[in-house]
Chain A
Amino acid sequence: MNQSFRLENIGLINRNKKLSFKFNGKVYYGYEGDTLASALIANGVHLVGRSFKYHRPRGFFGAGVDEPYAIVQLYRNGETEPNIKATEQELFEGLEATSVNCWPSVNFDIGAINNFLRIFLPAGFYYKTFMWPKSFWFKVYEPFIRKAAGLGVASIKHDKERYEHKYEYCDLLITGSGPSGLASAYAAAKNGAKVILAEDKSRFGGTLLTSEVNIGNQSGKEWAESIISELKEMPNVIVKNRSQVFGYYDHNMLVMSERVSDHLPKTKKFHPKQRLWYIRAKEVLISSGSIERPIVFGNNDTPGVMLSSAAKEYLKVYGVLVGKNPLIFTNNDSGYETAIEFQKNGINPIILDTRKDPKSEIVDEAKNLGINIKFSYVVVAAKGYKKVKSADIAKISEDKEQLGIVENIKCDCICVSGFWTPTIHLASQSGNKTKFKEDIDAFVPGISKQNETTLGAANGTYTLEETLKKSFETGHKLSKEITKKDNKISFPNVIEKKSTAHDKFWCVPLPKGKNYKRFLDFQNDVAVSDIEIALKEGYRSIEHVKRYTTLGMATDQGKTSNLNGLQLVSKIENKVVPAIGHTTFRPPYTPVSIGAIVGREIGKHSKPTRKSPMHSWHEKNNAIFVDAGVWLRPRYYKQGNENLFEGSKREAKNVRTNVGVCDVTTLGKIDIKGPDAAELLNRVYTNSWLKLPVGKARYGVMLREDGIVMDDGTTTRISENHYHMTTTTAQAANVLSHLEYYLQLVWPELNVNVVSTTEQWAGAAIAGPKSRDLLSKLFPNSDVSNEGLPFMGFIEGDLFGVKARIFRISFSGELAYELNVESDHGIFMWEKIMEIGEAFKIQPYGIEALSTLRIEMGHVAGSELDGRTIPYDNSLEGLVSKKKDFIGKRSLSRKAFKAEDRQKIVGVIPLDKKTSIPEGSHLVKDFNAPLPNPKLGYISASCWSVEHDNPFSLAILKDGKNMIGEKLFVMSPLKNKVIPVKIVSSHYVDPKGERVRS
């Protein structure tokens, strides 16, 4: 295909670099600097898709972010991405794209039958048509809608691209590099302010690229280029193209997505595809311009009907003609500018102006160029199915109600200008209460809520001179307040053509006997008749009308449709537009890829991974790791072909018979110092702490104020005013915050300091009947006998030159010790234990064996201390002091906590002594009882008891105290299991606790 709609001598594209690309399988050519849209139009391709509801043919409507139609599925470097706007996607060598929403092809679309059956698809058709019978929804309606409708297809592959997040702070953030953006950025930057200037498109300059104006004896485009190149050189300025500020959040924080690599065939090595910027700005200048508004007429969705400003942009920026026989349909002077550009490039347009006799410099110029202008004329309907072939036009009466005789004229495109709608999304998102501006029939920002100012066309100012003046002033004034400098820029001389008032006309009446669809929302196929139905059916609030008809709800978020929708409602309701109000603008302004939102926090990067100092040893010794909070912990150390069950059983058994060693570095550790440390512990724990001697540890339980157990652990008195607290791995951070809360806010009079030392200590538990023998070999100079280091005792020892803390505490229920050394010596300690332990048949054990050991001992852990249980429930009531007060004590006297049949921890054994009990199963009296079967309790933890060689579980059971010996059923509907069980004591091994004291 040749580029038969490309002009020779106009445009900003690079003609030295020809690019090939594929659309729907066919090869085309374009140039570097094209968008996919401009390159397709250059090749005469106007049919790009099908509409959402009626599957009507869709072409191009705009030239940028406002595009409602030209949405494609993009293929780039082996990846695919849905819902890409062809008007935004820059062309690169080898680009491939396909149409979406058409099956089997864009030219022959089965769904288009909806177009002929549209009587069935009026406003609210989702709600009406697909409601009944209910059973039809999943079987018939839903699959049908999914197949026939829907936008692109998301890839199900892992996205191998990289996305980054960046935080930035600035004095002024300026959103848009048109005249107001450039002027304000320049003034502020010259005054020393730290400025970020963001431009959505690849080229800076906004409307200056396409308008015939003169600033300081340069063309608008030249002026823009000179300002940008100066700004780029300034160290206090960040200038970003391909960057859309899409969200305005609290406290002047804005988020911008930068399309770093989307315009390239492939992302460069070490570069991200996109970057999300979180920008905290002292002041925000919104210079986002305005979007041209369509005029509504019959079949106004036919490919070839487009915004007049887009036609001008295709011509001036890309050197592309949207048609060779253009019809311009306008209610204001902007349409003339497009017509003049056509005329200058050898194409003869016809202008239809709804106005009777407009007088302005621009109109005069068009007349002088000999352009055919028909005043008081309108397009009644576009003709042609897949492309405009002609237009039915007619004269319109002065009251705009009556059409004259309908004539048909040939044309291949209809360029529409219905005046301009300021882009107020960001201002509105910031909390600005917008106001309706009568003379432009549109909303503009009102009183600012945050530090934001809207300039230029976005504020409804449509003359260049006024825009520049205000923008220079604002940039200077705001920067002066921040930098306290006063460098002023001299105001350049501005030449622009004067325009005259627009006509408030926006919707062409239907000719008698005709029933043309007149569309308001082009992506969601919402026509004038749909809004009429919604109002007839009683919908009044614009928010309800929006949801019922889906007006403005598509990926373009109604950028071209909202105001015409409001005009229509106001006309039918006979209310002024401001009384109806606009729907809420919410971020994002344009769709943002999920990848950009997620950034680098995916997979292993989604949270930090913490490893103990002994991690490398575990790795070398076949540890199978498991996530434990943010930590990686060995679950078991695999020998040969062992599975988890076999391995953990072997490890647990070895602890019960010989000695094992477990990495307990992950336990939370808090160092507590100060003269009031004992008093703090006494208030935080349920048991008493004032009389704990130096060199002794104690087990403690802490509650929340509502009486629920928060955490447990041992705390050791290292010296007079120095304690070492341990917490569970999971609660370490919360316990520290909890202590800080009470020390800083509730009892500031306590002279205590707390600090986390979790990472400062490497920890190893050595447990088993032979652990003392091993310990005596590790610390030959210390007395570790039962008298020298009794149960719950603490000494410091010398581990072959390394200072170690030795705690005689036990989680496994065996004779056991915990060793702590400074983290850097962790691996030394571990290897010494393994080396010397060999003689005692030592084996490392992972957390699966650790769980087994504690479960059969009836020691509670996170699965019992789950934020729902009180000390009694865990058989810890013996640790609750009756004498002193402590955090949460008062709550324990609540009626439910003192109930006679209060839940309590019990042991559970299957009657067959074989069937493993799934954790989380429920306990019931009668498994055949009608539903809902009353639940008596739940299984909190399960293991295979190595002591008894049969399954054993812990459960929290209603009236557990009186249930010992009862027979119940465990039910696990998820695993489809019913297991008859017997309730026993939770202390299944060594119920008297003799081993730990031996």
Chain B
Amino acid sequence: MLYIKCPHCGWRSQNEFSYGGDATVKRPELGKEVSDKEWDDFVYNRKSLRGKHWELWQHLSGCRQWIKVERDTATHEIFKTLKASEEIS
């Protein structure tokens, strides 16, 4: 079970969180013309990365905040966690 440092609450076990996918995906702006390709990339197309990956988790059974977690998908090592408002650097 992973051990995740919630930027709001501190270290908590994985079973308090739910996974939310790739954190680098940006939703196209509302009302903007979007090509089929752009939209498909946003909705469906994901890289299944091996290695460092920025992903979203929600601290569901805690502060309910969505957070950004940089994790190695192969080793599960977690390098960094950020608040939703913080930009991935």
Contacts and interface: CB of A to CB of B under 8 A. Distances in A.
Interface of A: 167, 249-253, 278, 280, 431, 449, 683, 705-706, 737, 740-741, 744-746, 748, 884-886, 890-891
A725 B21 CA distance: 27
Contact of B18 (A249, A431, A737, A746): A737
Contacts of A737: 18, 58, 60
B65 interface: yes
Contact of A251 (B1, B43, B85): B1
A740 B75 contact: no
B39 interface: yes
B27 interface: yes
Interface string B69-86: 000000110100000110
Interface of B: 1-3, 13, 18, 20, 27-28, 30-31, 34, 39, 42-44, 56, 58, 60, 64-66, 75-76, 78, 84-85
Contacts of B1: 249-251, 253, 278
Closest 8 CB pairs between A and B? A251-B3, A744-B84, A885-B30, A885-B31, A250-B76, A744-B66, A890-B39, A253-B1
Nearest to B35: A890
B75 A431 contact: yes
23 contacts: A250-B2, A250-B3, A251-B1, A251-B2, A252-B3, A253-B1, A253-B3, A253-B13, A280-B3, A705-B27, A706-B43, A740-B64, A741-B20, A741-B58, A744-B65, A744-B85, A745-B66, A745-B84, A748-B84, A885-B30, A890-B28, A890-B34, A891-B39
B43 A705 contact: yes
A740 B42 contact: no
Contacts of B31: 884-885
Given A251-B3, A278-B1, A740 B66 contact: yes
Given A251-B76, A705-B43, A741-B20, 18 more contacts: A250-B3, A250-B76, A251-B2, A253-B13, A278-B1, A449-B75, A683-B30, A737-B58, A737-B60, A744-B65, A744-B84, A744-B85, A745-B56, A745-B66, A745-B84, A748-B85, A886-B30, A891-B39
Contacts of B27: 705, 746
A37 B1 CA distance: 37
Contacts of B42: 705
User: Chain B contact residues: over half helix, strand or loop, or mixed?
Assistant: loop
A241 B32 CA distance: 65
Nearest to B34: A890
Contacts of B65: 740, 744
Contacts of A249: 1
A252 B13 CA distance: 11
Contacts of A705: 27, 42-43
Contacts of A683: 30
Contacts, number: 55
A449 B84 CA distance: 30
Contacts of B64: 740
Which of B1, B75, B85 gathers the greatest number of chain A CB atoms within 10 Å? B1
A705 B13 CA distance: 30
B84 to A, nearest CB: 4
Nearest to A704: B43
Contacts of A740: 58, 64-66
A786 to B, nearest CB: 38
B52 to A, nearest CB: 16
A757 B39 CA distance: 35
A185 B50 CA distance: 38
A606 to B, nearest CB: 15
Contacts of A746: 27
Contacts of B43: 705-706, 891
B41 to A, nearest CB: 12
A907 to B, nearest CB: 33
Contacts of B56: 745
Contacts of B2: 250-251
Contacts of A884: 31
A706 B44 CA distance: 8
A706 B76 CA distance: 29
A885 B44 CA distance: 19
Contacts of A250: 1-3, 76
A30 to B, nearest CB: 41
A944 to B, nearest CB: 40
B80 to A, nearest CB: 15
A964 to B, nearest CB: 33
Contacts of B18: 737
A253 B3 CA distance: 8
A253 B65 CA distance: 24
Contacts of B84: 744-745, 748
A280 B43 CA distance: 37
A77 B60 CA distance: 43
A280 B20 CA distance: 24
Nearest to A733: B60
Contacts of B28: 890
Nearest to B38: A890
B54 to A, nearest CB: 12
A741 B30 contact: no
Contacts of B34: 890
A868 to B, nearest CB: 16
Contacts of A885: 30-31
Contacts of B3: 250-253, 280
B58 A280 contact: no
Nearest to A737: B58
Contacts of A886: 30
B83 to A, nearest CB: 9
Nearest to A682: B30
A759 B56 CA distance: 28
Nearest to B13: A280
Nearest to B64: A740
Contacts of B39: 890-891
Nearest to B23: A745
A773 to B, nearest CB: 44
Nearest to B56: A745
Contacts of A891: 39, 43
A505 B17 CA distance: 54
Nearest to B31: A885
A252 B77 CA distance: 11
A891 B41 CA distance: 12
B60 to A, nearest CB: 7
Contacts of A251: 1-3, 76, 78
A553 B43 CA distance: 44
A53 B65 CA distance: 56
A394 B12 CA distance: 63
A855 B58 CA distance: 36
Contacts of B20: 741
Contacts of A745: 56, 66, 84
Which of B31, B34, B84 gathers the greatest number of chain A CB atoms within 10 Å? B84
Nearest to B66: A744
Contacts of B60: 737
A680 to B, nearest CB: 12
A145 to B, nearest CB: 37
A507 B88 CA distance: 60
